[in-house]
Chains A and B, each alone.
Chain A
Amino acid sequence: METKFGRIKVLYPKQRLIDKIKGHVEALNAGLKEAIKPGRITIEYPRERRELPDNFRGFLLFDVDACISCFQCAFVCPANAINMRGAPNGRYYPCIDYTKCIFCHFCADTCPRGALHRTKIHDVAFSDMDEMLATTEELLKPPEMIREDKYLVKYEIKDGDIVLVKEETVVELAERPKFEIRPAKVSACAHPENCIACTLCVMTCPSNAISTKVENGRRVLIIDPKLCTGCGLCVKECPTCALALIER
């Protein structure tokens, strides 16, 4: 195979007496240069806060109105950190166990409605292990914050060197990033000829939107679009691919 690869042979620097003296002088000089004009890149964290990008993977917040209880976040979580718990309204909402969470944000990327969304909060303290299991209520609003920071620091590259740009602002950390909510869909029986009337979908549906009735001696599915949240669980469960998600 024709390639453009070459190879470089790494050579030792020469080590005669004169080279050694030069090496010592250069090392001392390099140190002295920094001592006079340091290229400092430290951010004094509690007083200053570094600017984080919008896609920063931090503490997760939850939007109860957008949630369709589809369980996908709990299924995809590699660390089993997400628990779905029953709410008084009969739906199931996620709780996040922060002892397990690894902040891969597979859940946030999975959520079809953007109900779990990322924030720039990365420094949450818990008083004990039990408290680290964040219940749905605790995920609804950002945690209590004591802000010490007065500056926002940003790494910028100017003239080929890195500089810290300080700005005297306090940024909102729990801001919801702009997320285009995908159009809501509903489940429908796209291929009724495939249906074998196993009623797995009926049993799966978390919002009891699917019912059956007998028509012409054949059991057919009735999906109530008002109750259907478009979670797609039934589509996943259907053994014969009779169901599909369609635009509402």
Chain B
Amino acid sequence: MVTIFGLTISEIMNIMVKEGVSIPLIQPLIDFLLKIPIIQYVVALILWKPVFAVLILPGLGGLMISLLFIIWFERKLTARIQWRMGPLEVSRPIAGLMQPMADGMRYLFQEVIVHRGAHKPYFVQLPILAFIPILLPIVFIPAGSIYGINSPYSLIITVALLALIPVTIIAIGWASNSKFAYIGSVREAFMYFAYEIPFMIMVLGMIIIYGTADMATIVEKQGIWGAFLNPFAFLGILITTAMATSRLPFEIAEADQEIAFGPFVEYSGILFGLVMTLAYEKMYIMGLIVSVLFLGGGGGPAIPLLGDLSPAIWLFIKALAVMMVMAFLRSIYPRYRLDQALRIGWNSLISLSLLSLVVAVIVRFMGGV
């Protein structure tokens, strides 16, 4: 008898099926698959809630779909505002939705050039290593009953892991060993401090309001959305999201007209594809956090047919909405200069975050939620 952690396989199967995601819409199909040998283990594993949260929704699957969608959406929306058509020729009937996929294929088959001056191991590894701080926070973000790890400190851990992403970007710039990459890394480092402190103060404010750092509890407690409880924090976090994901008007580290994509200037091929999507992936995580803190997380009218999946889908849609707002900013703003962005971060945003802290304390003393 094979045992894992002292449990037999059938016992593990029982746990997985019991804690599986129940979707009434495709329940007959799942039941059928669970009867087939071997495949039943795979299906049960995927549908097991912690694995489902990481792999499908809101995890890797959601990340990929949102990535493909938001890149297409951003280009299409920008084109619409700019009196153009946007991507169209790849898959005309669905308005060029396959364009990001085609671009990805192109990157995949392009030669990856590692130039002589680069620190080779880090130069190749870092774009892949950067995925760790991006994927780890997903484990802690709850979508209704679907979550990876339930912890009373999940919000704090998520924010801490997010703070690791710029470190990888700075390391990428260092490994590139180029003038423009160097300037870009320094800019990234400056920006990092400018947005991270107000961001954390504002998250602290939200923790004060809800009285807990457990995201599942935060979602449960949101009778009124956090955005209405503390609009200052909401506005501030939207701005920090734009800064953290280097969206315009804060696309300063990558400024392609000034320093030619900054830290990523030396990359090519699929490695460039990976580093280019870093900011979008970070945007997805930030979108999830914003929807959990301010937009009621997985809350929303339940769809009985989808069962456990319904809150996950609501969370996904809300995160996408936040990303769409960020995508919209791109066609409105130019880029701020570094010192101006730092002034905004250290001056306006910190004031805004302190104001939001005061509001949070007031809300707390008025009775909280």
Contact = CB atoms under 8 A, between A and B. Distances in A.
A–B contact with Cβ pairs below 8 Å: the answer is yes
Interface of A: 27-28, 31-32, 34-35, 38-42, 44
19 contacts: A28-B332, A31-B331, A31-B332, A34-B80, A34-B82, A34-B83, A35-B77, A35-B328, A38-B80, A38-B81, A38-B83, A39-B83, A40-B80, A40-B84, A40-B85, A41-B83, A42-B83, A42-B84, A44-B85
Contacts of B332: 27-28, 31
Nearest to B84: A42
A31 B85 contact: no
Interface of B: 77, 80-85, 328, 331-333
A35 B325 CA distance: 12
A12 B85 CA distance: 35
A108 to B, nearest CB: 34
Given A28-B332, A34-B80, A40-B85, 12 more contacts: A27-B332, A27-B333, A31-B81, A31-B331, A31-B332, A32-B328, A34-B82, A34-B83, A38-B81, A38-B83, A39-B83, A40-B80
Contacts of B77: 35
Contacts of A42: 83-85
Contacts of A38: 80-81, 83
A59 to B, nearest CB: 26
Nearest to B86: A42
A38 B82 CA distance: 8
Contacts, number: 29
Nearest to A30: B332
Nearest to A28: B332
Nearest to A40: B83
B83 A31 contact: no
A218 B84 CA distance: 77
A31 B83 CA distance: 11
B333 A35 contact: no
Contacts of B83: 34, 38-42
Nearest to A162: B83
A31 B327 CA distance: 12
Contacts of A27: 332-333
A42 B332 CA distance: 20
Nearest to A27: B332
B110 to A, nearest CB: 27
B84 A35 contact: no
- Among all A-B residue pairs, the 6 with the closest Cβ atoms: A34-B81, A31-B332, A38-B80, A40-B83, A42-B85, A41-B83
A44 B83 CA distance: 12
Contacts of B333: 27
A39 B85 CA distance: 11
Nearest to A34: B81
Looking at B81, B84, B331, B333, which has the most chain A CB atoms within 10 Å of its CB?
Answer: B81
Nearest to B85: A42
Given A27-B332, A27-B333, A28-B332, A35 B81 contact: yes
Contacts of B328: 31-32, 35
A34 to B, nearest CB: 4
Nearest to B333: A27
A32 B332 CA distance: 9
Contacts of A34: 80-83
B19 to A, nearest CB: 43
Nearest to A31: B332
A205 to B, nearest CB: 58
A245 to B, nearest CB: 54
A42 B79 CA distance: 10
A198 B64 CA distance: 88
B80 to A, nearest CB: 5
Contacts of A31: 81, 328, 331-332
Contacts of B81: 31, 34-35, 38
A31 B333 CA distance: 10
A166 to B, nearest CB: 14
